[in-house]
A and B are shown apart, each in its own frame.
Chain A
C-alpha cells in the first residue's frame, strides 16, 4: 500500500472532488459535509467513470398513513451517479443503490498537515 497525493485541503473545497490516478487504479475522492470519501472510479455495471457524474440526493416516494402515494421529495442521502448509465452509489458507503450487496471498493484517506492522501 502506498499513499497517493490528492490535494491540499485548502484547495479541495467542501462539495468538490478529484480523480486520482494511483498506479493502474483510478480513485474518486470526495469532500462533502466536512468528510472525505474515496472509491474506485470504475462502475460495477459496465466500467464507466463511476465517480465523475452528478451528485444528488436520493428520491423518496411519499406514502401517507393510509398507504396512499403523495408525490416525491428529495431525501437526506447523498448519491453520486455514474454518468454512463445512471448507476447510483451512496456517498457514505459506496453501496450500489439498486443492489446494496454490491459496493465500490473504498479507500482510506489520510491527512498530513494540509495535504490529503489516499491509501491504495
Chain B
C-alpha cells in the first residue's frame, strides 16, 4: 500500500533545471505509456546564437568571417533581429532563467540540454532548428544569409547531428540566393541526420520563381522534404499596423505560409514535382483548412489562373504535411475534428513541440483528443514523421 507523502518545497524562480521544469510533462508521459511507442518532434529549437563563436569559424569567406566576428555583440549587430517580447514580460520564466542551467558533461551542451527536455516529455527523436536565424531571410545582404547558413549547417552537421542520432534536422536553405540553395542541398543532403531542408517563411521571394526549379527537382530526386518554417516580421507593411505581440504573432505565423502555399499551389508546383514532399511548420492548423476552402472556391471561377491544376487546390494541399504546433484547440472539438479530416491528419499531420519557445505543445495535445483512436494518435505523434524522415519505429527515449 502506498503511504501518504507530505513533501513541502519552496518555489525558487531563479533556479532552473529542465527535468524539474518539465516534471509534470514526465508525469504525463508515464501516465500515457509513451515508453511503448515512438514520438517524433518535427519542430524544436536551440539557441544557436549562444554558439556563434563556434559557428562563425565555419564561414568560408575570410572577409565575411571577420565581419561576423568583429560585428558580434556590437551596438549595431551584424545579423538582423526582430522587435518582440516573446517571454510576455518575464511570465515565461524559462526564457529568463534557462541561462543558469549547466548542461551535463558528455557531448556538446546543446545535445545534452536537448536530450534532457526530450526525455522529460517522452520524445524519441527531434528535428532541431535555430532560433534567431528564423529571421535571417529578412537580412538585407543576400551574401550574409548564404554565408551564415552555410556555416551554421556545417557546424550543426559536425558538432550536433554527427554526434547524436536522436537529433535530426531539416537544414536551413539560403532561399534569397537560389544558386546557394541548390548548392546547399548538394553539399549537405547526404550528411548524417539531415532529413530534409527548411525555408524560413518571412522573406520576399516567391516560391514559384524559375530559379528554384532545379532545387525542387534535386530534393524530389533525393526524396528529401522541403519545409516552410513560419515566423513573424513586425517590419512587414501589413503587420506594422498591429500594436501588440499577440497580434503580430497570431497573424504573422500564418501570413507568410499562406502566401507561399498559395503561390505553390496556384503555380502548379505539386503537378510539376509530384513526388516532392512539402511540409508547413508552426502555423497551426486552422489556416490550412480555411485556405483550402478559399482557393477551391476561387479556382472554380478562375481555372485559367491555375491551368496546371487537374484537381482543386485542396486536393494538392491534402497531400502535404502539417506540423501541429501551435495547435488551436477550440471548445467545440467538432470544429477541430473537421480540420483534421480536411488535412488528412491520419497520414499528413506530424506532432511538433516548438520547445523551448513560449507557446510549446506537449504530446498530450494530440494524445488527449477525444476523437482520435490509439492508432491515429500514434501516427500523428511519431509514425507519420518516421515514414517521412526514414526513422526506426522503435522507441529509444528514457522517461525519468
Contact = CB atoms under 8 A, between A and B. Distances in A.
Interface of A: 2, 4-7, 16-23, 28, 42, 46-49, 51-54, 56, 81, 83-86, 88
Contacts of B9: 18-19
B400 to A, nearest CB: 16
B13 interface: yes
B6 A21 contact: yes
Nearest to A47: B24
B5 interface: yes
A21 B5 CA distance: 6
B4 A86 contact: no
Contacts of A17: 10-11
A46 B364 contact: yes
The residue among A19, A51, A88 with the most chain B CB atoms within 10 A of its own CB is A19
B21 A83 contact: yes
A86 B361 contact: no
Nearest to A83: B93
Contact of A81 (B8, B91, B361, B364): B91
A14 B4 CA distance: 28
Interface string B19-53: 00101110110000000000000000000000000
A22 B6 CA distance: 5
Contact of B8 (A5, A47, A53, A84): A5
Nearest to B90: A54
Contact of A46 (B10, B358, B365): B365
Contacts of B90: 54
Interface in B48-99: 88-94
A4 B6 CA distance: 6
Contact of A18 (B8, B359, B360): B8
A16 B9 CA distance: 11
Contact of B13 (A28, A48, A54): A54
B55 to A, nearest CB: 29
Nearest to B3: A23
B362 interface: yes
A86 B92 contact: yes
B7 interface: yes
Nearest to A52: B11
Contact of B94 (A7, A28, A81, A83): A83
18 contacts: A7-B8, A17-B10, A18-B11, A19-B11, A20-B6, A21-B8, A22-B6, A42-B24, A46-B364, A46-B365, A47-B28, A48-B24, A54-B90, A54-B91, A54-B93, A56-B91, A85-B358, A85-B360
A86 B23 CA distance: 17
Contact of B364 (A2, A47, A84): A47
A18 B24 contact: no
B6 A85 contact: no
Nearest to A6: B8
Contacts of B359: 85
A51 B8 CA distance: 13
Interface in B347-394: 358-362, 364-365
Contact of A47 (B21, B358, B360, B362): B362
A104 to B, nearest CB: 14
Contacts of A84: 92, 360
Contacts of B360: 84-85
A86 B246 CA distance: 12
Contacts of B23: 49
Given A18-B11, A54-B13, 7 more contacts: A7-B8, A18-B9, A22-B5, A51-B11, A52-B13, A83-B93, A86-B91
A20 B10 CA distance: 9
B243 to A, nearest CB: 9
Nearest to B94: A83
Nearest to A20: B8
B7 A21 contact: yes
A46 B88 CA distance: 18
Contacts of A22: 4-6
A11 B128 CA distance: 45
Contacts of A86: 88, 91-92, 358
Contacts of B28: 47
A50 B6 CA distance: 19
Contacts of B93: 53-54, 83
A14 B374 CA distance: 48
Nearest to A82: B91
Nearest to B243: A69
Nearest to A69: B243
A81 B361 CA distance: 17
B365 A83 contact: no
Given A49-B23, A51-B11, A5 B88 contact: no
Given A19-B11, A47-B364, A53 B6 contact: no
Contact of B7 (A2, A16, A20, A52): A20
